[in-house]
Structures are given as C-alpha cells and as structure tokens.
Amino acid sequence: MLGFSDVTESFEEKRTVRKEQRVKPSVSSAIGRAAAAIGMDESSFIISAAYEKAKEIERAQFATLIDPELFDAFAAAVASPGQKIPGLAQKAKASEGLLEDG
C-alpha cells in the first residue's frame, strides 16, 4: 500500500476552524478514490495534502533544496569570474532613463 500519513495529526491542537469548499464532482471523486486507496478518511487526506503543499510553497520561497551534484554545479557557477552577458548589458543600456529613484 502506498504510504501517506496525516502530518497534522501530531499537532497538539483541536480542529476548531471550519473550512468549506465546493469542488467539481470529478475532483471530489479523484480525492475520494486516492484517500480510499490508502485507507485514509477524505477530510484528513485533504487537510494533510493541503498542509504539505502549503509548507512546500513557503519553503520554496526562502530556500532551494537541491542534490549535491546540482549544488556543486551551482556553487562553481557563482564562484566563477564574472562574465559580461551581452543581453543583460544591452537591456540595461536600453532601459536607462525610463526609471529613476524617487
């Protein structure tokens, strides 16, 4: 069986906030099937999936977590001596005079 646990279950809080959404029937069916496939009730499945997505988005704004090989390539790229990028230099020149500190 595929594993998926309610990550919010361990929170020492009661479920006191009510959230209601209307969903399209096909979406509701898909959620129901997936929750059933892993033996989870729909409510917990929706809450946990939404919570995990929320955390993923918040994390992604403040950090990029990557594999060591990609990190090494990134570190090497940012440590390399600066090279003039013709496209950037040209756009910067073309933008002069349109925007100023104010």
Binding site for another protein (CB under 8 A): 60-68, 70-72, 74-75, 77-89, 91-92, 94-102
Query: Least distance in Å: CB of 80 to another protein?
Result: 7
Question: How many Å apart are CA 54 and CA 59, to the nearest integer?
Answer: 9
- Encoding tokens for residue 41? 């009730």
3-state secondary structure of 56: helix
Q: Which is nearer to another protein, 14 or 84 (CB)?
A: 84
Residue type, 41: D
Query: Least distance in Å: CB of 36 to another protein?
Result: 28
Q: Which is nearer to another protein, 38 or 73 (CB)?
A: 73
Question: How many Å apart are CA 48 and CA 15, to the nearest integer?
Answer: 13
Q: Which is nearer to another protein, 1 or 98 (CB)?
A: 98
